[in-house]
């Protein structure tokens, strides 16, 4: 008999219970106990749902109040000193590390002022983890026993679970050294860390856990030799310790073959591989299994929302069975289902034809069970037939195919001049200088201003038909007036309209383009309490009408300063949607770039001549390994951006923006934007700053963290700019925050931006 297995389930609740309550806790509206209870209820629901669906191997410790990697940092006491000196509770320390904490003193508590740890992309997903930050003074010890507590919690409900932990090699390799210990290479801490893994595993065994899933997703990356070797050290130590649970080593999101030597002959009880992403690795990875080891076949996609093709999956699993036998095979999700929305049944507005092509986490749990049942000989004829019908309906639907779009995309690809601006950057710069006459250290923001409750209320009213289009427009105009007035008051140089009309930077465009479908409740965690509702690309994409011209033109009419038009780039729209799996990503990206090209042209025609095309997702789309696929991606990603932005005058200034990741300046060079702004406030490594000093066009290295409500003082800005100026030329230097301000409140936005502009003025006098 094969068994069914889920690697992780979304923890946000079917109706975003986690977000609502976490934010209520931060706002002081509910107590810590109330919040803990919400977590407990979500876990219980998730476990029961999987149990009732008939899943054999159900995960625990896949829950987190913010991030599973940060959970480990708390568990192993990897807590930089700056967070421990305030005597905060563990929960508040956890949130302070996640998002910073700034609090005035009260009669009973000290004042607190501490920035957040760095947050970075989780592999190529739109999930972000809080980066473990190690220092020479890190004192490893167990701090609580969350995995054990949650295992026991499930057990008390009568549900046997398999706890999940991020493994030691990935945990260290995904971390970084703290400012005070820059020469420390985290992987060298393995020996100190391993005893803690052994200790927590021992506790899990004592609690009754028979098997533990240890995730080592770094196995799909190009690893330095010492990291490759670390797997042997780590898993020999763990497996040779008496009395621990069985260990299943899980990799996902890619190809482990280049690191196969690292895991060959590891004495673990089994492996999990992602065969959705990389089915080609099958032959080589089954080779390494010893006759006792289990094989978890990741076949139900944890990263997309398309219905599983049962016929193909069953065939694949059967192939696995012929290699290793029935008893050792598990039918599994390819990765945790964290990256998919919770339940398709909560979608009431989707077109029924299209809805029938989708599968969310709750449905995927069933898919794993149905595939196992089919193989075990249970009667699932009805499920198999319904599945085959859905697959066929999608293949044959008119929605997926627009011959006009196909034709235009094909001819654009044959015309290289479409992806090149008429003049090079130095020439363009001359026209742009003449046109805008900006001061040195020009100041700007990334686009959005606080999305206040009022904005959300009015948008909801408009969507429900409770206010008219005219009333809504009036409201949006008033918001823009406010934002423009504020920017003029504090003296920003290049203004933005604030994006009050946008619910989300991708969804907003998706709704205006043909070829997309939308959910009403399809939330996916992006980081902490920030969730996104990715649109779904179901068919060929084109633009029926202008998307942003009206708002930009109105905002420009309110000021003499340049107003930036604000678009989301083709790669980001693609990456932050659920893409089609029946057409390549490259083709989808080109279709989007042509739609945006028309929008850029319309903006320019309407007098908006500073245009920012955001590509925050460009780095996350980079294939995880070096090689042909990666170079191909870099080419088509850059070309898509250039197709979107090249049909403009020399004097039109194209901006772009990137965030959330360690960017290689060489990759963004190929976009040839006139000005780029990048998230930078958490980058302390002087070598990294140095890498950007040779970037040929203009750059704004983000000066403050917009994920945190913390307000940097003018002096702090001056110090930070001074530090960057040591290696980075003043004549290319833009002054801006890390990213858009939509998640911030007005109070901190006002104060932070004022201090930032004041710091720019300080340097203007010196240069």
Out of 337, 739, 756, 760, point to the residue binding ligand GLN (CB under 6 A).
Answer: 739
Which part of the chain contacts ligand GLN (CB under 6 A), choosing from 208-216, 551-559, 619-627, 738-746? 738-746
Our separate counts of H helices and E strands in the chain read 27, 24
Q: Using CA atoms of 450, 454, 456, 459 in order, give the dihedral in degrees to the nearest 10.
A: -120
**Residue 66 or 527 with smaller CB distance to ligand GLN:** 527
Q: Compare residues 146 and 657 and give the one whose CB is closer to ligand GLN.
A: 657
Question: Which C-beta is closer to ligand GLN: that of 131 or that of 497?
Answer: 497
Residue 274 interacting entry, from Zn ion, ligand GLN, none, C-beta within 5 to 8 Å by type: none
Identify the residue whose tokens are 């858009």: 740
How many angstroms separate the CA atoms of 61 and 151, rounded?
7
Q: Which stretch in 51-59, 115-123, 571-579, 657-665 sits in contact with Zn ion by CB under 5 A?
A: 657-665
CA of residue 507 relative to chain centroid, distance: 15
Give which of Zn ion, ligand GLN, none residue 698 binds (C-beta under 5 to 8 Å, depending on kind): none
- Quickly tell me which residue has 């964290």 as its tokens: 338
Identity of the residue, 412 or 617, whose beta carbon is nearer to ligand GLN in the bound complex: 617
CA distance 177 to 535: 37
Residue 32 main-chain phi, psi, to 5 deg: -60, -40
- Report if residue 575 touches ligand GLN, rule: CB under 6 A: no
Residues 605-634 close enough to bind ligand GLN by CB under 6 A: 614, 616
| 446 is an interface residue for ligand GLN by CB under 6 A | yes
- Is residue 663 a contact point for ligand GLN (CB under 6 A)? no
Q: How near is the Cβ of 483 to ligand GLN at its closest, in Å?
A: 12
Distance in Å, CB of 498 to ligand GLN, minimum:
9
CB 739, min distance to ligand GLN, A: 5
Q: Which listed option, Zn ion, ligand GLN, none, makes contact with residue 505 (CB within 5 to 8 Å by class)?
A: ligand GLN
What secondary structure, in 3-state letters, does 697-744 show? CEEEECCCCCCCCCCCCHHHHHHHHHHHHCCCCHHHEEECCCCCCCCC
- The answer to whether 341 touches 10, Cβ cutoff 8 Å, is yes
Supply the Cα-derived Rg of the chain in whole angstroms.
Answer: 26
342 binds ligand GLN (CB under 6 A): no
Among 739, 741, 757, 759, binds Zn ion (CB under 5 A): 739
Task: State in angstroms the smallest separation of the CB of 616 from Zn ion.
Answer: 4
End-to-end Cα, the chain, rounded Å: 74
Residue list 501-520, contact with ligand GLN (CB under 6 A)? 505
- In whole angstroms, the minimum distance from the beta carbon of 571 to ligand GLN comes to 12
Among 742, 748, 752, 757, indicate the residue that binds ligand GLN (CB under 6 A): 742
358: its two tokens:
């989708």
Q: Which of 132, 167, 447, 570 binds ligand GLN (CB under 6 A)?
A: 447
Give the count of beta carbons closer than 10 Å to the beta carbon of residue 149: 13
Distance, in Å, from the CA atom of 488 to the CA atom of 493, rounded to the nearest integer, reads 8
Query: What is the C-alpha separation between 11 and 215, in angstroms, rounded?
Result: 17
* Shortest reach from residue 447's CB to Zn ion, in Å: 8
Which stretch in 5-13, 21-29, 194-202, 442-450 sits in contact with ligand GLN by CB under 6 A? 442-450
Q: E-strand spans in 156-217?
A: 161-166, 176-177, 211-215
120 touches ligand GLN (CB under 6 A): no
Figure out which of the listed residues 616, 702, 709, 737 binds Zn ion, where binding follows CB under 5 A: 616
In the complex, residue closest to ligand GLN by CB: 740
- Residue 564 binding ligand GLN, by CB under 6 A: no
The number of beta carbons lying within 10 Å of the beta carbon of residue 746 is 13
Based on the shown chain and the rule CB under 6 A, indicate whether residue 448 belongs to the binding site for ligand GLN. Answer: yes
- The count of residues in the chain is 767
Kindly write down the DSSP assignment for every residue of 272-316, as one continuous string. EEETTT-GGGHHHHHHT--TT-EEEEEEE-SS--BPP-HHHHHHH
Nearest distance from residue 148's CB to ligand GLN, in Å? Answer: 37
CB of 667 to Zn ion, least distance (A): 16
* 119: partner contacted, choices ligand GLN, Zn ion, none (Cβ within 5-8 A by kind): none
What is the rounded CA–CA span in Å between residue 356 and residue 536? 13
Angstrom distance (rounded) from CA 533 to CA 525: 9
Residue 675 — φ and ψ, nearest 5°?
A: -135, 130
Rounded Cα distance, 9 and 44, in Å? 12
Is there binding between residue 681 and ligand GLN (CB under 6 A)?
no
The least distance separating ligand GLN from the CB of residue 10, rounded to whole angstroms, comes to 21
What's the DSSP call for residue 579? -
Would you say 124 or 367 has its CB closer to ligand GLN? 124
Cα–Cα distance, 584 to 581 (Å, whole number): 7
- Annotated catalytic residue 339: no
Give yes or no for residue 700 binding Zn ion (CB under 5 A): no
In the DSSP assignment, the letter for residue 335 is: S
Region near ligand GLN per CB under 6 A, out of 20-28, 39-47, 446-454, 523-531: 446-454
Which DSSP helix (H) or strand (E) runs through 120? Answer: strand 119-121
Q: How far apart are CA 22 and CA 454, in angstroms?
A: 20
162 touches ligand GLN (CB under 6 A): no
Q: Is 176 left (phi over 0), alpha (psi -120 to 50) or beta?
A: beta
State the pairing for strand pair 211-215/58-60.
unpaired
- Which is closer to ligand GLN, CB of 271 or CB of 680? 680
Q: Which is nearer to ligand GLN, 614 or 639 (CB)?
A: 614
> Rule CB under 6 A: is residue 555 a binding residue for ligand GLN?
no
Check if the beta carbon of residue 491 is closer than 8 Å to that of residue 514: no
Three-class SS state of 631: helix
Number of residues that bind ligand GLN (CB under 6 A): 13
The size of the interface with Zn ion (CB under 5 A), counted in residues, is 3
Q: Is 659 in the site for Zn ion (CB under 5 A)?
A: yes
Q: Which tokens is 588 given? A: 């989808």
Q: How far is the CB of 657 from ligand GLN (least distance, A)?
A: 5
Task: Please pick, from the candidates 190, 230, 368, 566, the single residue that binds ligand GLN as defined by CB under 6 A.
Answer: 566
C-alpha angle with apex 425: 422 to 429, nearest 5 degrees?
Answer: 105
HSE-up (13 A, CA, CB side) for residue 407? 3
Cα gap 17→346, rounded to integer Å: 14
Contact between residue 733 and residue 693 where contact means Cβ atoms under 8 Å apart: no
Stretch that binds ligand GLN, among 275-283, 299-307, 526-534, 737-745 (CB under 6 A): 737-745
**From the CB of 477, what's the least distance to Zn ion, in Å?**
25
- Given the complex with Zn ion, which of 73 and 656 has the nearer CB atom? 656
Examine residue 567 and tell whether it contacts ligand GLN (CB under 6 A): no
Binding region for ligand GLN (CB under 6 A) out of 25-33, 291-299, 441-449, 482-490: 441-449
Q: Which residues bind Zn ion (CB under 5 A)?
A: 616, 659, 739
Active site residues: 707
Q: Which residues bind ligand GLN (CB under 6 A)?
A: 446-448, 499, 505, 566, 614, 616, 657, 659, 739-740, 742
């Amino acid at each position: 008999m094969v068994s069914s297995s889920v690697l992780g389930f979304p923890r946000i609740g079917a109706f975003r219970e986690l977000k609502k309550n976490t934010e209520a806790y931060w706002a002081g509206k509910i107590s810590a106990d109330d919040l803990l209870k919400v977590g407990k209820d979500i876990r219980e629901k998730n476990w029961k749902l999987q149990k009732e669906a008939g899943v054999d191997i159900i995960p625990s410790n896949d829950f987190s109040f913010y991030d599973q990697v940060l959970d480990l940092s708390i568990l192993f006491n990897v807590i930089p000193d700056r967070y421990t000196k305030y005597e905060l509770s563990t929960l508040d320390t956890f949130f302070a590390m996640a998002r910073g904490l700034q609090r005035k003193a009260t009669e009973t508590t000290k004042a607190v002022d501490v920035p957040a740890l760095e947050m970075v992309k989780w592999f190529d997903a739109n999930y972000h983890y809080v980066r473990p930050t190690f220092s020479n003074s890190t004192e490893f010890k167990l701090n609580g026993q969350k995995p054990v507590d949650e295992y026991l919690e499930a057990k008390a409900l009568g549900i046997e679970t398999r706890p999940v932990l991020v493994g030691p090699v990935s945990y260290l390799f995904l971390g970084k050294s703290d400012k005070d210990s820059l020469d420390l290479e985290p992987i060298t801490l393995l020996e100190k860390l391993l005893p803690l893994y052994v200790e927590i595993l021992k506790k899990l065994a004592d609690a009754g856990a028979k098997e533990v899933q240890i995730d080592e997703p770094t196995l799909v990356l190009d690893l330095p030799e010492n990291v490759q070797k670390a797997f042997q050290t780590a898993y020999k130590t763990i497996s040779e310790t008496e009395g621990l649970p069985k260990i299943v080593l899980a990799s996902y999101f890619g190809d482990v073959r280049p690191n196969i030597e690292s895991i060959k002959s590891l004495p673990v009880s089994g492996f999990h591989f992602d065969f959705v992403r990389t089915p080609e690795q099958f032959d080589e990875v089954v080779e390494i299994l010893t006759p006792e080891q289990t094989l978890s076949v990741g076949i139900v996609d944890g990263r997309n929302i398309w219905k599983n093709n049962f016929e193909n999956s069953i065939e694949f699993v059967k192939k696995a069975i012929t290699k290793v036998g029935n008893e050792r095979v598990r039918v599994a999700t390819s990765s945790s289902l964290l990256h998919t929305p919770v339940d398709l049944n909560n979608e009431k507005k989707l077109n029924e034809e299209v809805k029938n092509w989708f599968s969310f986490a709750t449905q995927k749990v069933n898919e794993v069970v149905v595939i196992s049942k089919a193989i075990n000989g249970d009667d699932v004829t009805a499920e198999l037939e319904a599945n085959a019908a859905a697959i066929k309906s999608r293949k044959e639907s008119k929605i997926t195919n627009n011959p006009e779009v196909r034709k235009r995309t094909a001819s654009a690809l044959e015309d290289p001049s479409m992806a090149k601006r008429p003049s090079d950057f130095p020439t363009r710069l001359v026209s742009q200088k003449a046109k805008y006459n900006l001061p040195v250290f020009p100041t700007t923001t990334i686009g959005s201003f606080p999305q206040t409750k009022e904005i959300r209320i009015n948008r909801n009213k408009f969507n429900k038909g409770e206010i008219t289009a005219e009333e809504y427009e009036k409201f949006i105009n008033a918001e823009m007036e406010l934002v423009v007035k504020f920017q003029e008051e504090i003296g920003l140089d290049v203004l933005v309209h604030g994006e009050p009309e946008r619910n989300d930077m991708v969804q907003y465009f998706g709704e205006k383009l043909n070829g997309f479908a939308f959910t009403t409740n399809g939330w996916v965690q992006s980081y902490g309490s920030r969730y996104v509702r990715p649109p779904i690309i179901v068919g060929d994409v084109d633009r029926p009408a202008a998307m942003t011209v009206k708002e930009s033109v109105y905002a420009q009419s309110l000021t003499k300063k340049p107003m930036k038009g604000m678009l989301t780039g083709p790669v980001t729209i693609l990456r932050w949607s659920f893409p089609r799996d029946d057409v390549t990503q490259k083709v989808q990206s080109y279709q989007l770039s042509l739609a945006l090209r028309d929008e850029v042209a319309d903006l320019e025609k309407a007098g908006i001549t500073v245009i920012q095309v955001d590509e925050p997702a460009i780095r996350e789309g980079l294939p995880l390994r070096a090689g042909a696929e990666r170079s191909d991606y870099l080419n088509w990603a850059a070309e898509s951006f250039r197709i979107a932005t090249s049909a403009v005058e020399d004097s039109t200034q194209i901006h772009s923006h990137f965030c959330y990741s360690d960017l290689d300046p060489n990759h963004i060079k190929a976009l040839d934007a006139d000005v780029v702004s990048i998230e930078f406030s958490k980058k302390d490594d002087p070598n990294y700053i140095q890498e950007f000093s040779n970037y040929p066009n203009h750059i704004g290295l983000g000066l403050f963290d917009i994920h945190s409500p913390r307000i940097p003082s003018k002096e702090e800005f001056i110090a930070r700019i001074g530090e960057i100026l040591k290696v980075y030329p003043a004549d290319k230097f833009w002054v801006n925050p890390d990213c858009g301000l939509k998640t911030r409140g007005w109070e901190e936005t006002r104060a932070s931006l004022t201090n930032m502009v004041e710091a720019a003025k300080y340097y203007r006098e010196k240069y």
